[in-house]
Structure 1
Amino acid sequence: MSSETVTDVLRSRIENGRFETWLISSTGRSLAFATNTRRALLILSTEEGDPGERAVEPGAEGLSDGFVLSNGQHDAYPDRDTVLLGEAFRVVEHIVGTGLWPADARRVVDR
């Protein structure tokens, strides 16, 4: 998938009620994307079992629910551990296009 099409694919999946997407590269890296249509949880992992790095919004207050995973699980996350959907699309496009986080994206390394 290209960086030019990834947002359209994610939007289409969301419109069809599929709120969790895994983008997996040929090198074994994976990018998990889960949304409640307002905010998104993004986790970039280098291999299976790697806790990875996640996009965050430090200082954001509150808790957002409505994250429905593909296994039917319903989750809620602190807003500081997620990003607004538009920012999530920007970050995903950059990672898919370059393999790297945008320089200005805030993230936490959980390794």
Structure 2
Amino acid sequence: MMEPMAEPWVLVDGAVEVSADAVAEALRARIADGKLESLLESPSGRTLFVVSNTERAMVMLLEYPGDPGEHAADPGAEDWSDGFVLSNGQADEYPDADTVPLDEALRIVRHILATGRPPADAAWVVDR
């Protein structure tokens, strides 16, 4: 399998291309506006899904449609958090082990947009 490379990413809601340097600000603005779910897509068909409850976020990376994907993790976290509201109105609850603090989520997303892969020091779970 080839190593992923940096490629352009589009914030699907609004079809706006977003750079690695601007993605954290764009996602924070969406969260402040109550849009807790964000979907980014690349021309190669990769999808980056971020849903937040304003304090934590689930970050999932899918390589192709139907891919079980991979996600950021917080090993050792034992609680659950709720308030992850999807664009269809569904409110989800996730184990904290499957989400990360918002600042860490934004760091991970920025790195994926810049390099094509999660940071080496981020806890990451492959669900394939």
Q: TM bucket by the smaller chain?
A: over 0.9
Q: Which residue of the partner structure matches residue 84 of structure 1?
A: 101
- The aligned runs of 1:18-57 (5 Å cut-off) are 18-57=35-74
Specify which of 36, 40, 60 is matched with residue 77 of structure 2.
60
Query: Aligned equivalents of 2:124 and 2:63: distance in 1?
Result: 15
Q: Which amino acid aligns with 1:63?
A: W
Q: What's the TM-score once normalised by structure 2's chain length?
A: 0.86
1:101 and 1:86 mapped to 2: Cα distance?
Answer: 14
Structure 2 letter corresponding to 1:29: R
Q: SS of the residue aligned with 1:57?
A: coil
Using structure 1 for the length normalisation, give the TM-score.
Answer: 0.98
User: Is the aligned partner of 1:101 residue 2:124?
Assistant: no
Structure 1 runs (4+) deviating above 3 angstroms are none
Q: State the percentage of identical aligned residues.
A: 56
CA distance in 2, matches of 1:61, 1:39: 14
* Aligned Cα root-mean-square deviation (Å): 0.5
Q: Aligned partners of 1:68, 1:23: CA distance in 2, in Å?
A: 17
Letter in 2 for 1:45: L
Query: Aligned equivalents of 2:52 and 2:114: distance in 1?
Result: 21
What CA distance in whole angstroms lies between the structure 1 residues aligned with 2:64 and 2:36? 22
Alpha-carbon distance in 2 for matches of 1:56, 1:24: 21
Listed one character per residue, the Cα deviations across residues 34-89 of structure 1 (whole Å, up to 9, x for unaligned) are: 00000000100001100101000010110000000000000000000100001000
Larger Cα-atom Rg: 2
Q: Distance in 2 between matches of 1:96 and 1:58?
A: 23
The whole-number CA distance in structure 2 between the counterparts of 1:86 and 1:8 is 11
**Are 1:2 and 2:2 matched, yes or no?**
no
Could you list the runs of 5+ residues in structure 2 that have no partner in the other structure? Answer: 1-17
